[in-house]
Amino acid sequence: MIELIPEDVLLQLLLEHSDFKDFKRHGSNFRNAKNNQCLSQRGFKDFKSDESKSLFMLAKERALLAEARRRSGMPVFNQQSKGAIESNNTDNSNKAQQIWEKAEIASETERASITRYLSDVRKIPLENYEDLLALGWLRWDALNRCLIYPIIGSSDTKEVRKIQRVFLDEAGNKTSKKMLGNDGLISVVPIKANGSQSDLQSTFFVCEGLENALSLRDEQTYTFLLSNGKSNLKHVPAFLPAKAEVRIISDHDANENPNQNGQTEAAKLRSDLITQGYDCTALMPKEPKTDANDALQQGSLDQWLDSLIDVPSLPEVKPKFYFTPINELNFEEPDWLIQGVLEAASLSMIYGESGSGKSFLALDLSACIATGLEWYGHHVQHGGVLYLAGEGRSGLCKRARAWEMKTALEIKSMLQVSSGPVDLSDARDSMPLVKEAIKKAQSQIDLKLVVVDTLSRHYGGDENVAKDVAQFIAGLDQLKQEFKLAILLIHHSGKDSTKGARGSSAMRAALDTEIRVDRAESDEMIISNTKQKDAALFQQKAFELSRINLHDKDSRVLVDRYGEPITSCVLAEVELPEPTERPLRRGANQKRFEELFSREWNQGRKRIPLKEFRDKLALPSNRLKELLNSQGFQQKFKVVSDYVELLERNGANDPDNTISDRPIP
């Protein structure tokens, strides 16, 4: 049984290391001072670079494994440090060079070992590679029983410090294939000399493996470039002279992920070479997992060559940023979730003062979507709704039941309520939980909308800081794009609801739709559309909250423990009330001014010098001028010859009701 070092021992050792000295406990995890890296028994995560590592790898890189094993009571082995690993890479290249230089060239014994594999097993004619034996390009490592050939770093490389090794058994069958060394990219098979090579010296064949290249290398004089794997095809351009003709013979792999297939890498190479001005074609077998050597062994190489097909073109990938001529853009009609009110896959907000009825409106909209019922004359897309309830799940349940009683419809599972509030600004811990819950719900119902009630209960940042808000919005955008959902935020207004929702203006800038809820003096709910990004604003609506006694599914009145009926409210559309003039808010300076004027007035002074007010209020000139120009001041007072007077009750249109243009004394 393999004995593993306990994760808690590795974690403690790493926390003692200088690389993690600033990590502090955060719940069950440890995080750095910048809060962008996390260390736990599950491993290491860098949230900025998205890098992840196991505790074992972190400890190994810092030469801590020996100490970890000692603390765990396990046998201690030697461990290589980073420097040792780098040194080992150099040693591997030196070892590859030594093996290459010591390998036998063209002796009868070594020649027989190579031909046993290439000719007897792989059926490749001796004349296809005999010159490579004579040149010493193919060699035999007797100590390790392997055929070797060079992998070089450039076309003018003299030293060989990386080799491909094909290990063989006594019968000449391949047992494995491994590269050794680090200073090399691809293998260049020399041109086969036959006296007529000058015409075709600039033609290059590209294959992944030696056996396929040698199967095709009869009397041709082409240079073969061996990538020794599809991932190395990208190095081919460095070995090509100008104006070379390139013929790529790709493997035909059948992996589900196209990026793991040789033909995909071949298509990338073809595209790169054509872009660089080379004449390049890329072919592959018609059937997967068949290659030139298979066809040679079956005696059908000519037919195989004739059946080759073009490697499929790469799908066109648009750059992340580009420009499109405006005449090529198509007009797209809004995809309305609720016609003229909420768009599908949009970000919207309902805001208003506490008690204005915004949550009743959100539930009403949600229930209409969940059942497909028109929303007061607006067509609705039927679909599921997820309601993130920060509080009041019981109240939400009562409101949903009241809505069902009013409409005689059942919402059923099309409206689902969260187990509690969750911090949507926490991309590390909370958002993965939210995404998992959405995926599960999406597997059950056709989701259209997520309601966040309220924003403050689901947001851990500072709503007044634009950077925090921008990160929060970015998280919501991810949810929209990943799940194709609309998101509706419920938020509080500031002190004056007409001046918008509370917090940074970055929030409003990101919205597609904004709806304000006010309560009229006669207690109606007034719904005003204050922003519609790509459509006209919908008209104001008015509702009253109509209270009803709740019944169960069998029409029995529901009562509490004291026998009193359980009630809730539903929206009932009513006529818009006559608009009333809102009282103007008075600032602190205006209140101080009016208190001072009132005292002087009560002492019989009808005209008071403006300078006296400025001195007693201790206001700078700019603040005093703001006060004199304010609407609240001009509704009550006037300035005549640098004296402040009270306006007569019928003097609202007095021509002297202006502020003097002369400098304030």
Q: Concatenate the DSSP letters of all residues of 22-83 into one string.
A: T-EEETTEEE-TTS-EEEETTEEEETTTTEEE-HHHHHHHTT-HHHHHHHTT--------HH
Tell me, what's the pLDDT at 84?
43
pTM higher than 0.85: no
CATH number of 336-574: 3.40.50.300
Alpha helix positions (H), 408-541: 430-442, 466-483, 505-510
Alpha carbon separation from 415 to 159, 364, 409, 451, 552 (Å, rounded): 71, 11, 13, 10, 18
Cα 91 from chain centroid? 42
Tell me, what's the pLDDT at 340?
94
Burial track 132-171 (b if 16+ CB lie within 10 A, e otherwise): bbeeebbbbbeeeebbbbbbbbeeebeebbbbbbbebeee
Burial track 531-548 (b if 16+ CB lie within 10 A, e otherwise): bbeebeebeebbbbeeee
Tell me, what's the pLDDT at 78?
52
Rounded Cα distance, 270 and 313, in Å:
9
User: What's the pLDDT band for 548 if we cut at 50, 70, 90?
Assistant: very high
Rounded Cα distance, 272 and 251, in Å:
18
Sign of CA dihedral 379, 382, 387, 393: positive
- What is the average per-residue pLDDT within 382-388? 96
592-646: per-residue pLDDT in tens?
888 888 888 888 888 888 888 888 888 787 778 888 888 778 878 888 888 888 8
37 pLDDT above the threshold of 50: yes
Tell me, what's the pLDDT at 85?
42
656 pLDDT above the threshold of 70: no
Tell me, what's the pLDDT at 219?
63
Tell me, what's the pLDDT at 183?
85
267 pLDDT above the threshold of 70: yes
1 pLDDT above the threshold of 80: no
207-230: per-residue pLDDT in tens?
999 999 999 987 666 789 999 988
Counting residues of the chain whose pLDDT is more than 90, the rounded percentage is 48
User: What's the pLDDT band for 247 if we cut at 50, 70, 90?
Assistant: very high
- What is the average per-residue pLDDT within 318-338? 87
> Hey, what are 202's tokens?
């600039």
> Which of 95-104, 114-123, 187-196 comes out lowest in average pLDDT?
187-196
Domain ranges (residues) in the chain: 7-79, 89-310, 336-574, 588-646
- What is the average per-residue pLDDT within 284-310? 92
420-456: per-residue pLDDT in tens?
899 998 888 889 999 999 999 999 999 999 999 989 8
Position 515, amino acid: I
Tell me, what's the pLDDT at 662?
32
Rounded Cα distance, 341 and 6, in Å:
57
197 pLDDT above the threshold of 50: no
* Mean pLDDT estimate for the chain: 86
Tell me, what's the pLDDT at 663?
34
Per DSSP bridges, beta strands 342-343 and 309-310 are unpaired
